[in-house]
Chains A and B, each alone.
Chain A
C-alpha cells in the first residue's frame, strides 16, 4: 500500500488578511479574547468588593489607569461586534420549530469551528417568523437586560 499522494496546498498563516470578509470573520472570532478579559476583570472586581471598601477603592484606581481604560474601550468595540454578529447569526443557526415542519437548508455558516445550517426558519403556530423579527426581539432583550442592570447598580 502506498501513502496517500493527494496534494494539500499549504495555507498561509495570514490567510485572513487577504480578504475583508475573512478579516471580519477572524475579528468576530477574536472577540472571545475580550469576553475572557472582561470575565477576569469582573472577577478581580468581585474579589475587591468581597474584601473591603478600601480594596474596592484601589480596584477603582487601577481600573481608571489609562491603559486599563483603553483595553476596556477596545473590549467594548469587540463586544459590540460580537453582539451584532451573534444576533445576526441566531435566526440562521437556530432551529426552532413550534407547530412547523422541517425547513430546507439553503447555506452553511461557520462559527467556532463548527459548520451550522443557515437560513433555518423560526415558525410559531405553523407561521413563519421573519428573521428580522428574531433579530429585533433579541435587541429588545438586550435593552431590557441593560436597563435592568443599570437600574440595579445605580438605584
Chain B
C-alpha cells in the first residue's frame, strides 16, 4: 500500500487522465495511428513541427501525456491486483506502475523541451 495520503491524489490523476483519454485519444489514434501512417492524409512536416513547437501546444501535450501515464499506472495496478489476484505483490506492483508513470513523465518533459 502506498501512503494513504497519496491515494486521493493518485485517484485524482487517474480520473483526470480518464477524462483526457476519453475525449482526446480516439481522434489522436485515428489521425496519428491510422490516417497519417497509412497515407489517407498527409500534413506536411513543417506544419506539424510549427504547431507542436508552439509553447501552448507543448504545455498541453505535456499535461496530456502525464495524465495519461498516471491514468494507466493507477488503473493497471488495480487490474493486476484484482484481475489476477496478485494481492501479495501489492507493493512491488504499485512501485512498478507509478514508477513507470514517473519515468514516462520525465521523458515526456525532456521530449517536449526539445521540440
Q: Which 8 A-B pairs have the closest CB atoms?
A: A113-B78, A72-B33, A63-B37, A32-B75, A36-B72, A146-B27, A86-B22, A83-B22
- Nearest neighbor of A77 in chain B, beta-carbon distance: B29
A-B contact pairs, 19 of them (CB 8 A): A13-B84, A30-B79, A31-B75, A33-B72, A38-B29, A49-B48, A53-B45, A57-B45, A60-B36, A64-B37, A69-B33, A69-B38, A76-B33, A76-B34, A82-B22, A86-B19, A112-B11, A112-B75, A153-B31
- Chain A hits for B24, CB < 8 A: 145, 149
Contact: A141 with B49, CB < 8 Å?
no
C-alpha gap A68/B33 in the complex (Å): 8
Contact: A29 with B68, CB < 8 Å?
no
The answer to whether A134 has its CB under 8 Å from any CB of chain B is: no
Q: Of residues B11, B23, B52, which shows the largest number of chain A Cβ atoms within 10 Å of its Cβ?
A: B23
- Nearest neighbor of B76 in chain A, beta-carbon distance: A32
Chain B window 1-33, contacts with chain A (Cβ cutoff 8 Å), 1 for yes, 0 for no: 000000000010011011101111111111111
C-alpha gap A27/B105 in the complex (Å): 25
Question: Which A residues lie at the B interface, using CB under 8 A?
Answer: 11-13, 15-16, 26, 29-33, 35-36, 38-43, 45-47, 49-50, 53, 56-57, 60, 63-64, 68-69, 72-73, 75-76, 79-80, 82-83, 86-87, 93, 112-114, 138, 141-142, 145-146, 149-150, 152-155
Q: How many residues of B contact A (CB 8 A)?
A: 58
- Nearest neighbor of A40 in chain B, beta-carbon distance: B104
Assuming A149-B27, A153-B43, A154-B43, is B76 touching A33 (CB within 8 A)? yes
Q: How near does chain A come to B56, taking the closest CB pair, in angstroms? A: 11
Contact of B65 among A42, A83, A153 (CB under 8 A): A42
- Chain B hits for A43, CB < 8 A: 65, 104, 107-108, 111
